[in-house]
Each structure stands twice: as structure tokens, then as C-alpha cells.
Amino acid sequence: MLRSANCGDLRLSDADSEVTLAGWVGRRRDHGGIIFLDLRDRSGVVQVVFNPDPLAGSGLSPESAHTAEELRQEWVVQVKGHVRQRPAGSENPAMGTGDIEVMASDVAVLNRSLTPPFYIADDAGADESLRLRYRYLDLRRPAMQQNLILRHRVVKYIRDFLDAQGFLEIETPILIKSTPEGARDFLVPSRLQPGSFYALPQSPQQLKQLLMVSGVERYFQIARCFRDEDMRADRQPEFTQLDLEMSFVDQEDVLSLTEELYTGMIETVAPDKKLRKPFPRLTHAEAMARYASDKPDLRFGLEMTDVTAMASETEFRVFHSVIDSGGCIKGFVAPGLAAYTTSQVRELDAFAREAGAGGLAHIRYRGTGPVAEQNEEEVLQSSGLRMPAEWHGRLAAKMGAGPGDMVLLMAGPSHRANVWLNAMRNHIAELLELADPNELAFAFVTDFPLFEWNEDANRWDSSHHPFTSPADGEEGLLDGDDLGAIRSKAYDLVCNGSELASGSIRIHQRELQEKIFSILGYSREDVGERFRQILEAFEYGAPPHGGIAPGIDRLVAILAGTSSIRDVIAFPKTQSGTDLLFNSPAEVAPSQLRELSIRVTD
């Protein structure tokens, strides 16, 4: 070994020992011939002192004193020296090693470095494209190293936990065939079979179900998934899921295993986080009604109330036209916001319009007494909502508003109104700083609809994926004409407003699976071509089974307290799917294309 200790591990208890360290040169200060430098390795940073004065007694050789003067940022060095307690008053409580320093006796340069394009420190503030272009330097920053370590610990916890629960880790192919999760496939041309293509898995969904037919019973994999989507903020074309599947289980078994896994993992790797246990469970219908979202942030309340019936008592034309076309009027109470000025309300209205809404109706209860007794001057109403005190009393009681509060209402077709209200709810929570950044508010959302109507394509899509089982007793509805009303055995795990995992109890009978494919508009040939393997397998004793797939990237980002999943992926791609380090995707040699029988057209 080139070293006897790690820089960041040294403590006061190591004082008076001799150590050999190796690492990178960080900050360097020259104080009248005495050189102080921060030496950094993965474990952290320690201060090294080069004092050429023989009276200082550090035994620094003249050659080493000379070398120390030449050292520059990010050079790789080996330092031998003596650990000593720092002189009183020069301790640095911000550093783990801040009580000691290393008095160098020798230094050897193991490698030099060009001046890095940005300073290697957490507060360097370098532009992200520069960081990604020099990712190997960016990853040297202590915060990024912590993220890599955290990710390792999360995955290690998962492996150990599932191993103890009898799961087998099994690899499934990356070169495979299209398996739908609602995205576009990445295709890989075959050289040996010109004109044929592999698809990279959008998830190992069919493979893990086939493993259940094989009798594996409990499978998991830290699985890379590939989805060629137009990249929305903070998505990656390849990402990692903990993919798991279990036989002979019902929904409750999958959810309780997931909850045990998450709580144990977070208590182990991020014990400072606040968790609410047990995880609340909401049906999809309940989540939409109460929070206008299927991934509600439960760190705060701001619950919705449907006031369509009361709104019909007003003279407000917008409300009436929405009600006449089957829409709803729904909203929530913004606590304490009655004091908002007209221009502040206008900003909220602008936010609502940006989110797509036609506008925002608001009522400010400015008086101090009960709402039902407030007079017109105390109640600041939005236009069209001039209603008697009695009506306001009823509205406030229904919505839970009190003096000092503002009521916010939006009107529209319910699926749209929910989108706007969800945006507004999160916006108000942000303005009022209602979400505790240290809390992880998990919840399971269950009973998703089996299908959702795709307006653009004019057809039904699976809400989850085609392999999801309808709810018990609802298979009969598949022959009816209200397909949107059929519930499924699909569930999500959500946390702080993000979806962290999706799963379902699966279909395991051929006939039912074929019926779902036909509702989704797959032709017979298409089904035969794409799904032969799983349909056939269902005819050879497929056990009842189900599973879930928690995303690893988002989870680690939340635990690391970063808003970008790119910060917890060693080599991520940009928003446009580019790897700036390797500069990929890139053109390939014409000879490679010829081998693949591929011609690139304009």
C-alpha cells in the first residue's frame, strides 16, 4: 500500500503517530515559507504542514521542502509525516480532522495535473455542462463522492434485505425485444440477421413474469431500464430500478414488503430523515379527490373540497358554463393568506394561467370574527362571487376556512382542474414553506383505473402496463362500455410529491391477457408476434404473481437532498440525451454501418 492511513479518518486519538498518506492536493496556502495544504482522498481532507525550519522539528528534508513549493492543485502526492494536535486556537470545527494536522517529513509526487477547468470543491459552482464534460473531476468533489457512497449503501441494503427474505438476484438480457411500458424502444441492429433488431428493455417486466412461471418464486434485480422518451425535466434515457416479483402473493404482501424495505433502509442509511409509519394508503380516487393528484405531497395538508353544488348558487357565469358541460368546481384553503394584496392575488392568478387554467377564483376572509358573520367589506371576493354572509358561512364550514384565510377555487373538466389545482397546491405550499425538507412523507396509492383514455390517439391505454390484473370482480366490466370505471390491482409508492415505485398484481391467464391486448387495440398478428412467449407460458401452470419496481435514482436523490437525479448517477446524460464526456451519441464508421446493412439517409 502507498499509504498507512486515510486522510479523512485522522482524529485527535491519532496524535503523535507517524502516517503515510496519499491523495490529491486541494487548497494550498503559503505563510512566509510555511506551506499549508489540504490533502484529499475519498475519506475526506486533512491539513498538511510543510515547515522547512529545522527548529520546528518536523524533520522535513530540503528536497521535500523544495517539492512542497512546486505542488499545485490536483497533483497526486504521497506524504509521510507526524500527526499532531493543532495549536490552541487554530482548530477547525468544520472539518472532521479539524483538531489535528500532519507535520510532513517527506513528500513524493505520484502524478502531476493540469490546472482543472473548475475548482474541485463543493462550493465551486461550476456550470453543469462543464461538470459533465469533465465528470471524472466533478466526481472528485466531496459531495459527489458522498452521493456515490450513499447510492452504494442503498443498493447494498436492498441486496441484503431481499437476500434475507429469500429473493434470488437474477440477471435478464439487455438485448431483448420490445416490452411496453408506455415509451419508445431503443433499438439495436443485428449484424448476423440483417434487417432485424433487438430492443433494449423498457423494464424486465415480461422476463420477471416468465421467471415466476419458472418457479423462481422471489426474484429481484438492480435493473437498468431504457426508455426513449422526449426528455422531461430530470429524466434519463437509461435509469435504474429495483425490479422485483413474487409468486403466490396478493397486493398486501407486496406493499408490506416494500414498506419494510424502505423504512429499514432509510433508518439505516439516512437516520436523520423523518418518517411517518405506517405509510398511509390512499385509493387513487381518494388521492384525486383530496389532493387532486395521484402522487400527492403529504408533508402538508391543503386538502381539496369539491364545491360544485354550492358554486351553482352563484351568479358567476364561468362556474355555470363549466357545470353545464359536466365539469367541477374545486379548491382549497390557503391558510392566513387573507392579508394578500390585490397584486399578490394577481400573481397567483398568473401562476394558475401558466399552469393552463382559465383563471382562479378567490375569497379573502379578512375579518377577525366567524366567517358567517363577516360583512361585505371584510370579505374580499373575486368578481362573480358576491354572495351573502350565510353562503360564505356555509362555504367556509364546508372547506374548513376561518378568519384570516383565503379560499382558492378552480373550475374545469375534472381531469384538467386536478392538474391545475395540484400545481397551485404545491405552489402555495412552497410560498408558505409548508414542506419540511427533512421529512419523507411516503404513501401507497392503490386501485388505479385499469385503463385511461388517450385523447390524442383516440384509444384506451393501460394506466400501468398491459400485464396488470383488473380488480377482483371487475373482469366482467371488460365486456361493457365503461372501461374507464374498471379498477386495477396496480399501486404506486409516492413520496413528497414524486412517484418512487409502481407495481401490480399481474394477469396469469392467457384468455384474460388476450382480452386486455385486444381492448388496447393490438391486432391478433401483433399479439402473436410481440407477446407469444408470455401467452404461451401462461398455459403451462403460471402461478398467481405480482411485484413492484422502485426507482433507485430518484430515491437516492431524495435521500441525498439534491433536486437532480444527475447528481446521483455517476455518468448521466444531459436533457437532450447527450453524454458530454464521451460525446455520444456519435456517428460511426461507414464500414460499421455496412456490416449492419444500415444506410443513414438525410
Q: Which residues bind ligand ASP (CB under 6 A)?
A: 181, 203, 205, 502-504, 547-549
Q: Which CA distances in Å does 344 have to 339, 350, 351, 425, 483?
A: 10, 10, 11, 16, 43
Nearest to 92 by CA among 171, 26, 172, 38: 38
Nearest to 135 by CA among 583, 562, 563: 583
List of E strands, 74-165: 76-85, 100-111
CA distance 234 to 128: 13
Residue 222 has which C-alpha cell? 438492480
Q: How far is the CB of 542 from ligand ASP (least distance, A)?
A: 16
Helices and strands in the chain: count of H runs, count of E runs: 16, 24
CA distance 497 to 510: 36
Q: What are phi and psi of 147, to 5 degrees?
A: -65, -40
86 vs 224 by CB, closer to ligand ASP: 224
CA distance 21 to 24: 10
47 vs 258 by CB, closer to ligand ASP: 258
Q: How far is the CB of 208 from ligand ASP (least distance, A)?
A: 7
Q: What are phi and psi of 494, to 5 degrees?
A: -115, 155
352 vs 549 by CB, closer to ligand ASP: 549
Length of the chain: 602
Q: How far is the CB of 165 from ligand ASP (least distance, A)?
A: 17
Q: How far is the CB of 220 from ligand ASP (least distance, A)?
A: 11
Q: How far is the CB of 465 from ligand ASP (least distance, A)?
A: 6
Q: How far is the CB of 502 from ligand ASP (least distance, A)?
A: 4
97 vs 205 by CB, closer to ligand ASP: 205
SS3 label, residue 380: strand
44 vs 466 by CB, closer to ligand ASP: 466
Residue 305 has which C-alpha cell? 373540497
CA distance 422 to 446: 19
80 vs 464 by CB, closer to ligand ASP: 464
Q: Which residue has the cell 462550493?
A: 123
23 vs 204 by CB, closer to ligand ASP: 204
Q: How far is the CB of 417 from ligand ASP (least distance, A)?
A: 27
Q: How far is the CB of 470 from ligand ASP (least distance, A)?
A: 15
Q: How far is the CB of 388 from ligand ASP (least distance, A)?
A: 51
CA distance 352 to 382: 15
Q: Which residue has the cell 374545469?
A: 412
Q: How far is the CB of 559 from ligand ASP (least distance, A)?
A: 20
37 vs 565 by CB, closer to ligand ASP: 565
10 vs 501 by CB, closer to ligand ASP: 501
CA distance 5 to 12: 14
Q: What angle do CA 171, 174, 180 make, to 5 degrees?
A: 105
CA end-to-end distance (rounded Å), the chain? 56
83 vs 158 by CB, closer to ligand ASP: 158
Indicate the DSSP class of residue 144: H
Q: How far is the CB of 468 from ligand ASP (least distance, A)?
A: 7
Q: Which residue has the cell 393528484?
A: 293
SS3 label, residue 46: strand
323 vs 520 by CB, closer to ligand ASP: 520
99 vs 492 by CB, closer to ligand ASP: 492
CB 402 within 8 A of CB 366: no
Strand order across the beta sheet in which 281-283 lies: 168-169, 218-226, 238-247, 545-550, 498-505, 490-495, 442-446, 281-283
Nearest to 403 by CA among 446, 371, 357: 371
CB neighbour burial string for 404-423, b if at least 16 within 10 angstroms, e if fewer: bbbbbbbbbebebbbbbbbb
Q: How far is the CB of 577 from ligand ASP (least distance, A)?
A: 19
23 vs 551 by CB, closer to ligand ASP: 551
**Tally of CB atoms within 10 A around 6:** 16
Q: How far is the CB of 344 from ligand ASP (least distance, A)?
A: 41
